[in-house]
Chains A and B, each alone.
Chain A
Amino acid sequence: MSPLTCHEVIDFLGAYFDEELAPEVRARFDEHVAVCPACVAYIDGYRKTVALARRAAAREGEGEDEGEVPTGLIAAILAATHR
């Protein structure tokens, strides 16, 4: 069976993270990554990107990063439900 290319490995990344790769594809995926520093770096950055996006979104709700609630929005909602 031919080895996977970088293109194929990166196309399979979503399925790799979802653990949906068929065993034989996963074996070829691992074989490629074992000898390809470029793909190792790409996968590491991909994993960090997903994690950082999540962390950055969570930080938006913390203290100084709290998103502003427009003045009057809460009052308007409460008033509308009491009509």
Chain B
Amino acid sequence: MVPEPTDRDTDFAALVRGHTAPLLRTCRRLLDDDSEAADAVQESFLSAYASLGTYRGDAKLSTWIHRIAVNACLMRLRRRAAFMASAETDDCDQALGSLLPSYSRTGHRREVQPAWTEAVDELAERRELCGRVRELVQSLPEPHRTVLVLRDLEELSTEETAALLGLRTNAVKTRLHRARQALRTMLERELIEGAA
């Protein structure tokens, strides 16, 4: 005999239906793997269900489940060898290569591109460009992508990001800056090619 669903089950089912899509987007951004992202979402909901009794209500339920999912992704990232190898050093900046600006011996810019003419609102209206921006974010090396996703897209603080990643706050700041610089370079190339 199938038991009647409880209020808790009904509420949880609503949470799952309402939050699977946004959680999946976050997990895909962090893991860059659709299958693993789906696994992380499922694992997060199961973990949330098991600990619903400890949910204290001092954060929104959506925020709470979101943090569980971010943690699930980070656990998975920590298991990846490349992430572990680069977690505590900034050697990973080398992977960005030509995406970082170069300077003359006197510290001046070597290559100067004209200013971008379009405003953010205009750029954001271009659906294809937005899709391309998401692809470019995914193309960043994992240590940089992770920090950029947590800080700029998930809007966690530097301190929260550092705690989640086990990094010093200065390392988070440096890595975020490098990630933004690399993304800026790639986006500039897109805009120049698009205008040509």
Which residues of A approach B to under 8 Å, CB–CB? Answer: 5-8, 10-11, 13-15, 18, 37-42, 44-46, 48-57, 59-61, 64-67, 69-70, 73-74, 76-78, 80-82
Contacts of A13 in B (CB 8 A): 177
CA distance A66 to B174 in the complex (A): 32
Per DSSP, are chain A's interface residues mostly helix, strand or loop, or mixed? helix
Per DSSP, are chain B's interface residues mostly helix, strand or loop, or mixed? helix
- Pairwise interchain contact A59-B127, C-beta atoms closer than 8 A: yes
Which residues of B approach A to under 8 Å, CB–CB? Answer: 9, 12-13, 16-17, 20-22, 24-25, 28-29, 34, 38, 41-42, 45-46, 49, 101, 103, 106-109, 112-116, 120, 123-124, 127, 129-131, 133-134, 137, 148, 152-153, 158, 173-174, 176-177, 180-181, 183-184, 187-188
The listed residue (B25, B29, B116, B131) touching A45 by CB distance below 8 A is B116
Count CB-based A-B contacts (< 8 Å). 139
- Pairwise interchain contact B152-A54, C-beta atoms closer than 8 A: yes
Which partner residue on chain B sits nearest A72 by CB separation? B38
Interchain residue pairs with CB less than 8 A apart (6):
A7-B108, A42-B184, A49-B183, A49-B184, A60-B130, A77-B42
- Pairwise interchain contact B46-A60, C-beta atoms closer than 8 A: no
Contacts of B12 in A (CB 8 A): 81
Which partner residue on chain B sits nearest A10 by CB separation? B101
Q: A65-B130, A69-B20 are in contact. Are A77 and B46 (CB under 8 A)?
A: yes
The listed residue (A41, A48, A51, A74) touching B112 by CB distance below 8 A is A41
- Pairwise interchain contact B103-A7, C-beta atoms closer than 8 A: yes
Contacts of B21 in A (CB 8 A): 61, 66-67, 69
